[in-house]
Amino acid sequence: METKENISALQEFNHQTIPTKSVSVNGIDFTYRSFGKKEGIPVIFLQHFTGNMDNWDPEVTNAIAAQHPVVLFNNKGVGSSKGITPDNVPAMAQDAVDFIHALGYDKVNLLGFSLGGFIAQHIAAHQPELVHKLILAGTGSIGGKAIAQLESHLEKAFVDGPDRVLINLFFSKTPSSIKAGEAFLGRLAERQHDRDLPSSQETIGNQARAIIQYGLETDKDSKQLRSINQPALIVNGSEDVMVDSINSYIMLQNIPNAKLVLWSDSGHGALFQYGADFANEVNNFLLN
């Protein structure tokens, strides 16, 4: 639980310097980092497959934190959080809700990237009273195009060795996008102390099962998307190889109150390639 004293200290810190804390969620310790503006509805960041808190881009988190409270966290079993990661999106969504309640919040903005976007949609649809606004990056809806082909996407991304996986998955094959990818990796390394732990193979396996199951399910008549009543900002790159970009277009056409932003020459990680513009879109979206 945040206390008045530690909240008042948040603004002295940023993504690179904020100490990691933990909170007990149903008896299990979840790790998180909370920084940025002291007042306002917080933006809870929901992370992608395999990612931990260190996988968020400080260019993005700090720019959003300049105008809002920001909370990065590891869901159950992820990174330095304890417990066992469940193998399905609804259970992950409930863990995230329990974490949010454990911090004492009853209204939050959700920013979900990829798997985090699946979780964000589930929470918005099933626990709408908790969600003020929704930001969906590089993601898609239940049964979305090519989501279930996760193993094939990963196989292609590994052909250049483990060091290039993130660039292959998140950026396009153009020199400009690859250069942006390398700059992104540089920014991820800017936090030098108190870094997070990698997720276990068990966690990654359960996340993969959750993603594939989500991709194999069907949501007749886009019922879940149509039930999302919160304003939604949807963003992606023009050629996402993880969650096909057309899924963003489909979400725009079915979520009743939504805005879609797509950038050319970019993929799954467009929110980082165009970090300044993305943060600007988010801040404008949360302003109104």
Q: Among 48, 265, 269, 286, which residue sits at the site for a copy of itself (rule: CB under 8 A)?
A: 265
Q: Among 17, 98, 102, 263, which residue sits at the site for a copy of itself (rule: CB under 8 A)?
A: 263
User: Is 284 among the residues that bind a copy of itself (CB under 8 A)?
Assistant: yes
Name the one range near a copy of itself by CB under 8 A: 72-80, 143-151, 216-224, 256-264.
256-264
Distance of alpha carbon 13 from alpha carbon 220, whole angstroms: 45
Cβ proximity to a copy of itself, 111 vs 255, nearer residue:
255
Extract the tokens encoding 229. Answer: 């009543």
First to last CA, the chain: 28
Q: Determine phi and psi for 175, rounding to 5 degrees.
A: -55, -40
Cβ proximity to a copy of itself, 24 vs 264, nearer residue:
264
User: Is 146 among the residues that bind a copy of itself (CB under 8 A)?
Assistant: no
User: Is 6 among the residues that bind a copy of itself (CB under 8 A)?
Assistant: no
Site for a copy of itself in 222-251 (CB under 8 A): 238-239, 245-246, 249
User: Is there a contact between 5 and 30 (Cβ–Cβ < 8 Å)?
Assistant: no
Q: Among 136, 261, 279, 282, which residue sits at the site for a copy of itself (rule: CB under 8 A)?
A: 261
Site for a copy of itself in 93-132 (CB under 8 A): none
Q: Among 255, 271, 279, 282, which residue sits at the site for a copy of itself (rule: CB under 8 A)?
A: 255
Helix, strand, coil distribution of the chain in percent, nearest 5: 45, 15, 40
Chain centroid, CA 153 distance in Å: 19
User: Is 145 among the residues that bind a copy of itself (CB under 8 A)?
Assistant: no
User: Is 253 among the residues that bind a copy of itself (CB under 8 A)?
Assistant: yes
User: Is there a contact between 74 and 82 (Cβ–Cβ < 8 Å)?
Assistant: no
- Could you tell me which of 155, 183, 146 has the C-alpha nearest to residue 266? 183
Total site size for a copy of itself, rule CB under 8 A = 21
- Could you tell me which of 116, 93, 105 has the C-alpha nearest to residue 40? 105
- Could you tell me which of 17, 156, 32 has the C-alpha nearest to residue 82? 32
Paired sense of beta strands 28-36 and 69-73, if any: antiparallel
Q: Among 28, 124, 150, 258, which residue sits at the site for a copy of itself (rule: CB under 8 A)?
A: 258
Cβ proximity to a copy of itself, 29 vs 277, nearer residue:
277
Positions in the binding site for a copy of itself (CB under 8 A): 238-239, 245-246, 249, 252-253, 255-265, 277, 280, 284
